[in-house]
Amino acid sequence: MPIRVLIVDDSAFIRDVLAALIARDPELAVVGVAQDPYEARDKIRALDPDVITLDVEMPNMNGIAFLERLMRLRPIPVVMVSTLTQKGADVTVLALELGAVDVVPKPIDGGEQAWEALGADLRAKIHAAATVRPVARPPVPRTAAAAPSMPGTVMHPRAIIAIGASTGGVEALRDILGRMPGDSPPIVLAQHMPAGFTARFAQRLDDTCALTVREAVAGLNLQRGMAVVAPGNRHLTVVHRDGSFQCNIDDSDAVSGHRPSIDVLFRSVAAAAGRHAIGVILTGMGKDGARGLLAMREAGGRTIGQDEATSLVYGMARAAAEIGAVESLLALDAIAARIVAEVTANAAGAV
């Protein structure tokens, strides 16, 4: 039976284009379209779709207000279709925090090739979304999390934490960073997210945790209490130079199907920090990060995977576990405490 899709967008042109692009996959079926959230509400009741594609800027009720109600009252997998504007990035990151599965950016130039690329991306993400079973959730807290200081003041100068995530990672990363002390070792993050959204994502994380979070830039020296996010559509690597870690950014080919690639980041951290690194692989589809995490473990670093029960999509962590890259599979709410314990043990010379 095909995956049943409802398209919600205020533009008739966009609705028609998305319907045509989705229809190219025989395993997908567009069962309806809606021009605003009120019509969408009625169509959901009547059609019971498996997945919804949702625009974020619509009349009568914006997509965020609709999504928040939907996730509280009748959770359905949602793929956001967003414009690459500052406003679009702001509300899309919030939508991912509220429970949207993923995001597909609308093309800026509107050319045929750009729409073809959107179609391929959208079809893949609808397939992934159909495997997700979202649960009702309360509204996202807006206040910064209170976190204790790192136990003990001694920290190995080459201690570093690398975290990779994909589908479902926005919420997972917010949870982990919100539990981390403000004086943690430097943290480097690779989240599969389109260009244009990662700066706003970093700002959202900065607003809700004790760490200083920013989008990574070339040559940035990583400091204690700092977390950096790989920029969308660019690789982030780490080098150890002149006594500190520095960020490198490059536009080389996609690795493991992604740019930024978690594999690329993890391999660089393995080389730069060896046994003083901690690697964490979180929710997401595919295998990106599995080989890189294995490189970290083989270099002596400690490695953690998010468990199946708390992963929105148990793909990347599963792939890493299957090749022996993961030392410990943990529930999401236990990961930050394990990281702190590993950093403390490392500083004491226990690892």
Catalytic residue selected from 36, 102, 288, 307 = 288
Sequence-separated (6 or more) residues with CB below 8 Å from residue 334? none
Whether residue 77 contacts residue 98, with contact meaning beta carbons closer than 8 Å, is answered with no
Residue 183 among the catalytic residues:
no
Q: Among positive and negative, which fits the CA dihedral 94, 97, 98, 102?
A: positive
Q: What are the tokens at 97?
A: 């925090």
Marked catalytic residue, from 82, 166, 261, 311: 166
Q: How far are the Cα atoms of 139, 242, 252, 273 from residue 332, in angstroms, in the given order? A: 19, 35, 32, 25
List the structure tokens of 45. 């009741």
CA distance 121 to 350: 45
The CA distance from 289 to 202, in Å, is 20
Residue 145, classified by CB atoms within 10 Å of its CB into exposed (0-12), middle (13-18) or buried (19+), is: middle
- Concerning whether 127 is annotated as a catalytic residue, the answer is no
- Peptide bond just before 105 cis, omega within 30 deg: no
Instruction: Tell me which of 55, 184, 192, 268 is the catalytic residue.
Output: 192
| Beta strands at 51-55 and 3-8: parallel, antiparallel or unpaired | parallel
Q: Kindly list the catalytic residues.
A: 166, 192, 288
